[in-house]
Structure 1
């Protein structure tokens, strides 16, 4: 009877999960705005606390934060839209220049006595596909920024409710201090993750901008923002973010610059992803590589390309939430990366 009851519970939880996932997919537009608002607000709330602890009145600190957020959002939106429009207009020119560069390279190879079929190579490379892929990605990033106003309003309301929300939590968990402590631990770890990830993403974008400016690659601000955003997408994010700038470097016909640019991208991403992030986050906030891969597919399917940006933050949120409660801690362990922990098998 016990096994039958347990089996019924499992089927109940499975059916509930399917209904929730279907609801998420159907309401993906609203869910995206909600999740972006929550995640951005969780980062900014740390800065709000920092300002209030320095003796700045909460209302003034709130005003400063919202003003800075507004100015940064408007500047980024303007610069990205301007660069994106110019890049799209010049796409046919870039495509032809890259084809000419490849033909020049083939001619150079033929000088050494090799026979190369130029038409077959150009057909196989299919530059139209590469550029369409790039413009599709940039278009999706533009779609994210088109939701900026709603996200901005959502962030403003969430930040204004921060103090009230803390009071509500104390009322809810008044008789259960352990659950209140677990929730505070969950909030702390989640905020730590977002702050560290945003900081390392900012570093990634900054170094990319400096490198592209140094090598005189067009639209360095646009590719820096792309690098910043795609740093939130593990494994494939750094590769995808590098494609447009590397293609543009080929336009110049200077293959030495292209090689150096590839090396710089590799150094930036390996150093930040494999050295800085683990050092600041610690292994307790690490996700299993397998979980990261499948979370990209899963949340990308539900929420589109925005889901790929949010895949790790959402999964990390679930992991921290599971680890904060004793009865679900085992799920959090399954999601964790224990490869670097000693004394565990």
Structure 2
């Protein structure tokens, strides 16, 4: 029996390797599929809400889907303009940062410290600091280039949602437990995506307002980046803060920079550690180790977009495991055991 069990585990592991390899080979198609499924899951929450307010389904469907399309196009337009202007001003920002470094070195030298100023200036390249931003916007550009396919996919998924539920009832007609497991899985998935999207939007909104208040350039651009990077735990909020902090620093106002750092920390810690757990529930927590390796795995498989999808994909798997008693142990292994009673 032990030999058979070991063989089964090797079989499952080999199957998993083949599945991951297949996903990597078909990354372009898989990204479209995953984005369509995740966005459809979020949009369906709004459609259900409108239906509960006795708004006809077709009107709710067209209103929410049309609103999403218009909002995405508008954001894409604003981001495109902001990014082009930002890149054109990069040489100026680099000169300002170099001047700031020279002042810092001169100040340190007055206290007897010897620093090779030329080495620092030669190594200093502002493009490297903002490289992640350019790559991110490039990924957004890829998303927009496949926008029509994603929208069509979302439209079909939403249109098939009700009939898919009927199909499941037919399939699991003699096994109500599996139907209940799927309903629990579907409910938790919608809950997770709805809360995560809402908190991410709230994060981006607060960051935009703060940057506007302190008159930091391109506040909408950095706000959208903060919203997107909220889907990448731990490192996401740090990376999202770097461009705005550096722009504040090159302006020469150290006090404003320090205040911005504190506000970024307060916004991200407050939303991630207080608001999200309150609305998601403790059962939807992931182990930090699982988060770390999921970022590496899905980043390797699907590229930069995979890093944003890593936690949603991993959370989907965890919720699926948690919905059935036979696989619940896998869910426990993936969870943050410190959050469990």
Classify the TM-score, shorter chain. Answer: over 0.9
Instruction: Measure, in 2, the Cα distance between the counterparts of 1:290 and 1:132.
Output: 27
**Conserved in 2, the CA contact under 8 Å of 1:288 and 1:338?**
yes
**Matched residue SS, 2:337:** coil
Equivalent residue number for residue 329 of structure 1:
328
Deviations along 1:224-262, one digit per CA (max 9) or x if unpaired, are 000000000001100110111111112211121111111
Matches within 5 A, 1:126-137: 126-137=125-136
Instruction: Measure, in 2, the Cα distance between the counterparts of 1:311 and 1:230.
Output: 12
Deviations along 1:23-78, one digit per CA (max 9) or x if unpaired, are 00000111011001101111111111111111111111111112211210110110
2:216 is the alignment partner of 1:217? yes
**Matched residue SS, 2:339:** coil
Matches within 5 A, 1:229-244: 229-244=228-243
Matches within 5 A, 1:7-86: 7-86=6-85
Please identify, of 161-170 and 180-189, the stretch whose mean Cα deviation from structure 2 is larger. Answer: 161-170
**Conserved in 1, the CA contact under 8 Å of 2:93 and 2:126?**
no
CA separation of 1:133 and 1:73: change in aligned 2, threshold 3 A: closer
Could you list the runs of 5+ residues in structure 2 that have no partner in the other structure?
Answer: none
Equivalent residue number for residue 301 of structure 2:
302
Equivalent residue number for residue 314 of structure 1:
313
Instruction: Measure, in 1, the Cα distance between the counterparts of 2:120 and 2:98.
Output: 10
Matches within 5 A, 1:83-162: 83-162=82-161
Deviations along 1:150-202, one digit per CA (max 9) or x if unpaired, are 21221111111111111111111111111100100000111100011011101
- TM-superposed CA distance for 1:138, in Å, is 2.8
**Conserved in 1, the CA contact under 8 Å of 2:41 and 2:190?**
yes
| Structure 2 length-normalised TM | 0.96
Equivalent residue number for residue 164 of structure 2:
165
- TM-superposed CA distance for 1:134, in Å, is 3.3
- TM-superposed CA distance for 1:107, in Å, is 2.5
Deviations along 1:78-132, one digit per CA (max 9) or x if unpaired, are 0111111111111111111111122123223334444332112334544342233
Please identify, of 281-290 and 112-121, the stretch whose mean Cα deviation from structure 2 is larger. Answer: 112-121
**Conserved in 1, the CA contact under 8 Å of 2:98 and 2:124?**
no
- TM-superposed CA distance for 1:300, in Å, is 0.6
Equivalent residue number for residue 179 of structure 1:
178
**Conserved in 1, the CA contact under 8 Å of 2:90 and 2:126?**
no
| Structure 1 length-normalised TM | 0.95
Instruction: Measure, in 1, the Cα distance between the counterparts of 2:118 and 2:194.
Output: 50
Could you list the runs of 5+ residues in structure 1 that have no partner in the other structure?
Answer: none
Instruction: Measure, in 1, the Cα distance between the counterparts of 2:242 and 2:148.
Output: 29
**Conserved in 1, the CA contact under 8 Å of 2:94 and 2:126?**
yes
- What do you get for the CA RMSD once the two structures are aligned? 1.4
Instruction: Measure, in 2, the Cα distance between the counterparts of 1:97 and 1:271.
Output: 33
**Conserved in 1, the CA contact under 8 Å of 2:172 and 2:178?**
yes
**Matched residue SS, 2:231:** coil
**Conserved in 2, the CA contact under 8 Å of 1:91 and 1:131?**
no
Instruction: Measure, in 1, the Cα distance between the counterparts of 2:232 and 2:340.
Output: 24
Equivalent residue number for residue 198 of structure 1:
197
Instruction: Measure, in 1, the Cα distance between the counterparts of 2:127 and 2:109.
Output: 25
**Conserved in 2, the CA contact under 8 Å of 1:52 and 1:58?**
yes
Instruction: Measure, in 2, the Cα distance between the counterparts of 1:116 and 1:259.
Output: 24
**Matched residue SS, 1:175:** coil
